Chain A
Amino acid sequence: AQKVTQAQTEISVVEKEDVTLDCVYETRDTTYYLFWYKQPPSGELVFLIRRNSFDEQNEISGRYSWNFQKSTSSFNFTITASQVVDSAVYFCALSPFRGGGNKLTFGTGTQLKVEL
């Protein structure tokens, strides 16, 4: 069975602060994919990143960065210099590598509130 844990239910920060969202996962698969999605107040799901279990390199995209540590089964997400527009629920998710397509197991999400 697969499981994704996002222990932080809600985080509030002031604009321009850096914030890290934690994600811990469990799987018996040796190969798998990890994802982050953003769900703004409008409700749609916005894809942010997909990382396969082969690649433990950290990734940076603008103000976003991801730290994948297979040894601790974690895939944390950092927003640098947060902005009000970053306010949303962020989901971490896990899927099998083979034959699973996007059979995603989601965490319960972290509500991020960025205030002025």
Chain B
Amino acid sequence: NAGVTQTPKFRILKIGQSMTLQCAQDMNHNYMYWYRQDPGMGLKLIYYSVGAGITDKGEVPNGYNVSRSTTEDFPLRLELAAPSQTSVYFCASSPRSPVNTEAFFGQGTRLTVV
């Protein structure tokens, strides 16, 4: 039971570098999400997707891009890393059903931009 898998678990980036945070789920969930958690704070929604080919912005999308070419994968792209993007990033997924259900979260990716 893999659930939601995020890679890498840790990463240090230099200012201006780019990287992609990977997220994969094996539960055939339609909805996928990216959140960031800054120190001492709650999670904030960056982007979400309701299905392959469909993405939309969340509360804090600036500096990020996403794509959803398959049901399973939802990568998050940082184009020009900035110190303000130092955070823990969580990917989550949930099924589409008539009734909302809880999200299943990955283990997180801790990103430091120096």
Contact = CB atoms under 8 A, between A and B. Distances in A.
A108 interface: yes
Contacts of B59: 105
A35 interface: yes
Category for how many chain A residues contact B:
20 to 34
Category for how many chain B residues contact A:
20 to 34
A101 B107 contact: no
A61 to B, nearest CB: 14
Contacts of B107: 43-44
B40 to A, nearest CB: 7
Interface of B: 30-31, 33, 35, 40-45, 48, 50, 58-59, 88, 90, 92, 94, 96, 100-105, 107-108
Q: What are the nearest 6 A-B pairs in CB distance?
A: A106-B42, A102-B103, A101-B31, A45-B105, A102-B94, A106-B43
